[in-house]
Amino acid sequence: MPLSDIVKLALVEDIGTGDATTLACVPDKARATGTFYARQPLVVAGVELLDELFTEKQFSVQSGIRLNDGDKIAVVSGPARLLLTQERVALNFLQRLSGVATLAAKYADAVKGTGCKVLDTRKTTPGLRALEKAAAAAGGVTNHRAGLYDAILIKNNHIVAAGGVRAALDRVRDSSLSIEIEVRTRAELDEALECGAKRLLLDNLTPEQAKDWIKYIAGRAAVELSGGITLETVRAYAETGADFISCGAITHSATAVDINFRLEM
């Protein structure tokens, strides 16, 4: 969905038939300037959406910039009614997306020097996936597949439905998309490697188990780890030799950051 359509939906949801308070209190011809400020250390994301909301943007930082409490994010100008009516939608986007970027940066920082990349997942807010994945990338992690259409990820239920590891891999062998398969046992692992699998997903292992499995794989396939990996444990998983770690928490559990908007007439 285009950004303009996402913004329009948010505005319709919030404004409805009109901003009753602003229309009653603010003169029609009044103009104003508004400034968005960080109220805590954060990694900003979503500033591109301000172009969809305000006609006159005087200043803004770029998404991915780390800010401290009190730093300016953007300055916008225009009719006072417009600024007041669209303030909350702008803040909702900035606070949510900057929250994702800020958490993503913590994960990226936690694995520095290991050679392991942290991936986001499809565990996103319905309708906001493109925005949340852009925010995750702004924070320094790597985007995994965008949806069900741009990569093949054979998980345990696919294996059951296909009739086994070999059957599933045989069915996708001629695909032009990247192919990854989840394996849950050493037997499935051996079968996947015998079938030429080049990327494996290992789910719900401890760091010690993951290190043992990765040693056994010995570079025959790239390895992604997933399953309940937290900010506190991600470094230990990264040090197992894994190529990738996927963390749904980056998008599904990010806390909105504190950003405010100050109006000046």
> What pLDDT does 58 receive?
93
Coil, helix or strand at residue 229? coil
Residues serving a catalytic function are 88, 123, 155, 182, 203
- DSSP strand pairing (72-79 vs 31-38): antiparallel
- Check residue 245 and give its pLDDT: 98
Give the rounded percent of residues in the chain with a pLDDT score beyond 90.
98
> What is the mean predicted confidence (pLDDT) over 243-257?
98
CATH 3.20.20.70 given to domain 142-246 = yes
CA–CA dist 144, 166 (Å, integer): 24
Examine the pLDDT at 232 and tell me if it is beyond 90.
yes
pLDDT at 166 over 90: yes
pLDDT confidence bin for 13, thresholds 50/70/90: very high
The average pLDDT across 211-233 equals 97
Is pLDDT of 207 > 80?
A: yes
Do the first three CATH levels of 3-102+255-264 and 142-246 match, i.e. the same topology?
A: no
Q: How confident is the model at residue 115 (pLDDT cuts 50, 70, 90)?
A: very high
With beta carbons less than 8 A apart as the criterion, state whether 263 and 34 touch: yes
Any idea where the domains of the chain sit in the sequence? 3-102+255-264, 142-246
18-41 mean pLDDT? 97
- CATH number for the region 3-102+255-264 comes to 3.90.1170.20
pLDDT digits (tens, 9 = 90+) for 139-149: 999 999 999 99
Whether 172 shows a pLDDT value over 90: the answer reads yes
- Interior/surface letters 115-140, b for 16+ CB within 10 angstroms, e for the rest: ebbbbbbbebeeebbebbbbbbbbbb
Q: Say whether pLDDT at 2 is over 90.
A: no
Nearest to 54 by CA among 73, 30, 79, 37: 79
Tens-place pLDDT, residues 50-97: 999 998 999 999 999 999 999 999 999 999 999 999 999 999 999 999
Instruction: Collapse the DSSP code of 174 into the 3-class scheme (helix H, G, I; strand E, B; otherwise coil) and give the result.
Output: coil
> Of 249, 245, 227, 250, whose CA–CA distance to 235 is shortest?
245
pLDDT at 4: 85
Contacts 24+ apart (CB under 8 A), 61-68: 63/97, 63/101, 63/134, 63/135, 63/138, 64/101, 64/138, 64/139, 64/140, 66/41, 66/42, 66/105, 67/38, 67/41, 67/42, 67/43, 68/38, 68/41
Exposed/middle/buried for residue 18 (C-beta within 10 Å: 0-12, 13-18, 19+): exposed
